[in-house]
Amino acid sequence: MAILDSPEILDTTSSSADNGAAHHTTLRRRQSARSVPPLLDSDSNSLEAESAINDSENVRNDANLIENLRGGAVESENEKQESYGKEEGAKVKENGETSNGNGTDVMAVKFTFRPAAPAHRKNKESPLSSDAIFKQSHAGLFNLCIVVLVAVNSRLIIENLMKYGWLIKSGFWFSSTSLRDWPLLMCCLSLPVFALASFLVEKLVKLNYIPEWVAVFLHVTITTVEILFPVVVILRCDSAVLSGVTLMLFACTVWLKLVSYAHTNYDLRVLAKSLDKWEAMSRYWNLDYAYDVSFKSLAYFMVAPTLCYQPSYPRTACIRKGWVVRQLIKLVIFTGLMGFIIEQYINPIVQNSQHPLKGNLLYAIERVLKLSVPNLYVWLCMFYCFFHLWLNILAELLCFGDREFYKDWWNARTVEEYWRMWNMPVHKWMVRHIYCPCLQNGIPKIVAVLIAFLVSAIFHELCVAVPCQIFKFWAFSGIMLQVPLVIVTNYLQEKFKNSMVGNMMFWCFFCIFGQPMCVLLYYHDLMNRKASAR
């Protein structure tokens, strides 16, 4: 039973190897074999012999495994070198730097990394140049801005707390003075009655009980009473400013919806009388609905996140409950952050400032600039809470499909682009019911734009001046001043052909000087009104 007396068995394996790695493996196996003692000694027992046999077999298996692994690694490395050469050859071919022939790939790999190889072969722009800045990803710079903002604002928060202390009172969300606003709440709950009245008018017109001109007169009466009723209630009640602003926003929303409901149904009746026009419009817009006065359609429209009426809307398949919960949590967080900034930062600044149009000019400019940063934060939080979170939550609960509530207004190059992108529900309403009807009736384009801005200015004035009970037309003037800014920013955009110039002009005029100035004007006028009332 002499099994390992001589290493010839292992030599047969090593004789077939033709590289240094295999030879090295053979030498190691020979040494391992010689280190095993002979198993035919007379004094050795069977257990020791069997153990030695098993050990020798394990050594031989390990050696074979190492040889296979080394061979596979060498083969894999050769394959990598070949594929690398092919890829480099292909790259050189694309750049047009190879010569024809079978050795093209080999030559490309050989000369690609030589010192004589050209390092500059194309005209290229720097990543931050004006021609290439929008073609690059700026995620790292965005993260840097977030880190800087967190660091700077953390210092400001600590400094503010050390200087003023904790200014948010226990009755921040609800106080005993809120109970006096119950007339505004009752007025808000009664506004759907006007929608029911508009539905009855449309039903009577469809059944030919009243003529068209009577329906128009009734709709004008209903919408006028609907917007004047909250104004009277707010002016007669000594209510909080925030409650009045909420009621006026709700009343203006209902007014816009009722106008769209009446105007759209009127146009549907006109199209229904002409079968050719109806079929042409249905084919063009791919519509599958007909003219019908349905209470269900009106009820859905009154709660849907849109201001433009149509009998049916694109719908989603289901409601994502988990997604709704996450958005509600975000809504609570950002609403609280907005209230914290108002109470802790904006209120002390406006209380310690003088009227911006009276007194020291440099001091007024300093106050406006100091107010611009927290005011911008509040405005961005308001936009995110309302246009992104709340409208998307409402759309999800109602399975409303079209959720383009805003576009990338932060990239607006002109003031005109901003007003077209930041509030899509109002923009679509303006285009559908103000701008296009003006053009269809022969009104020049610039006059139609002025009319659209005039309507917007009136509603901005109503939403601010009525709750504050101050009619100095600051909000109205601020919106109408957007018209010359539109002309200026359009001129700059055409002259410089650079999107950054118009975008920076928009941010400077709108967010740094515009809104903080309006806040200071209304605050001081409100304080003067309360002082005179006492």
Q: Which of 263, 427, 460, 524 is catalytic?
A: 460
Q: What pLDDT does residue 286 have? A: 61
Q: What is the DSSP letter of 315?
A: B
Q: Within the chain, which residues score under 50 in pLDDT?
A: 1-55, 58-59, 61-63, 65-102
Chain centre distance of CA 344 = 27
Q: What pLDDT does residue 23 have? A: 43
Q: What pLDDT does residue 354 have? A: 65
Q: What is the pLDDT of residues 388-419, one digit of tens each?
A: 999 999 999 999 988 999 998 888 888 888 88
CA atoms within 13 A on the CB side of 456: 25
460 given a catalytic annotation: yes
Q: How far apart are CA 417 and CA 490, in angstroms?
A: 9
The neighbour count for residue 227, using CB atoms within 10 Å, is 19
Contact, 416 vs 489, CB < 8 A? yes
Contacts of 340 (CB under 8 A, 6+ apart): 168
Residue 351: beta bridge partners? none
Contact, 30 vs 4, CB < 8 A? no
| Dihedrals phi, psi of 6, to nearest 5 degrees | -135, 155
| Dihedrals phi, psi of 86, to nearest 5 degrees | -65, -45
| Dihedrals phi, psi of 352, to nearest 5 degrees | -95, 15
One-character DSSP codes across 266-289:
HHHHHHHH-HHHHHHHHHHHT---
- SS3 for 400? strand
Q: What pLDDT does residue 528 have? A: 67
Q: What is the DSSP letter of 37?
A: P
The neighbour count for residue 509, using CB atoms within 10 Å, is 16
Maximum distance among all Cα pairs of the chain, rounded to whole angstroms: 128
- SS3 for 237? coil
Q: How far apart are CA 520 and CA 76, in angstroms?
A: 73
Contact, 357 vs 521, CB < 8 A? yes
